[in-house]
A = this chain, B = another copy of it.
Amino acid sequence: MATDTSRLPVASGRVAEIREVALSLFARRGYHATSMKDIGDALGIRAPSLYNHFESKQQILVEVMRGTMEQLLRDHIDALASTDDVVEQLRRATEAHVRYHARFRDEIQVGNIEIRALEEPERSRIVLLRREYSDSWEALILRGVGRSVFRVSSPRLTAWAILEMGIGVARWFDPAGEMSETLLAYHYGDMALRLVGIAHAPAASVSAVE
């Protein structure tokens, strides 16, 4: 977990601890079923001390959700900026998307379930960031179609299909399991290319991967 959170915006030790413990409780019990007292108990501190760092439970949720989306967008922009080749852009953006969802599983689960617990105007801001992200995917696929490199019947549905298959990873990926995050990312990169009509030979025989 230390390696994971190190990729999120830098926060002082105590703030990072609170966020991590709160995230874990939100993911397991749900936001509404978790009190500031529960968070304090899990950290071995009294609830009032939490308020030195966060105004409210809602503020913790906001920071978790905003930090998560901003990191995802940064990784995505890096992937696109790293090459002009639209095929490589799609591969790298898919790999970044899948790595992200394999790594920040609790953040994704809380983000998807607790969006309804987020108060305005923060909810609209998060929804806007998500929209920005999926629009960028659609634009990427449209660029590939425009260059006659991709062939798809619906750029939007293709973008959403790639996004959704990657989001699913957060539900089942086990970092202690047989498949590494890196191999996983390669597989999804190949699947994304297939979805835009670029057929590669499979990376490995069935028996080697299963």
Contact = CB atoms under 8 A, between A and B. Distances in A.
Interface of A: 28, 30, 32-33, 113, 116, 142, 145, 151-158, 160-165, 167-168, 172, 184, 187-188, 190-191, 194-195, 197, 199, 201-206, 209-210
27 contacts: A113-B113, A145-B206, A151-B202, A153-B202, A153-B203, A153-B205, A154-B187, A154-B206, A154-B209, A155-B210, A156-B210, A160-B168, A160-B172, A161-B165, A161-B168, A161-B188, A162-B165, A163-B168, A164-B164, A164-B167, A164-B168, A165-B165, A167-B168, A194-B195, A195-B195, A197-B202, A199-B199
A116 B34 CA distance: 14
Given A165-B161, A194-B195, A154 B210 contact: yes
Contacts of A199: 197, 199
A28 B203 CA distance: 43
Contact of A158 (B113, B160, B191, B203): B191
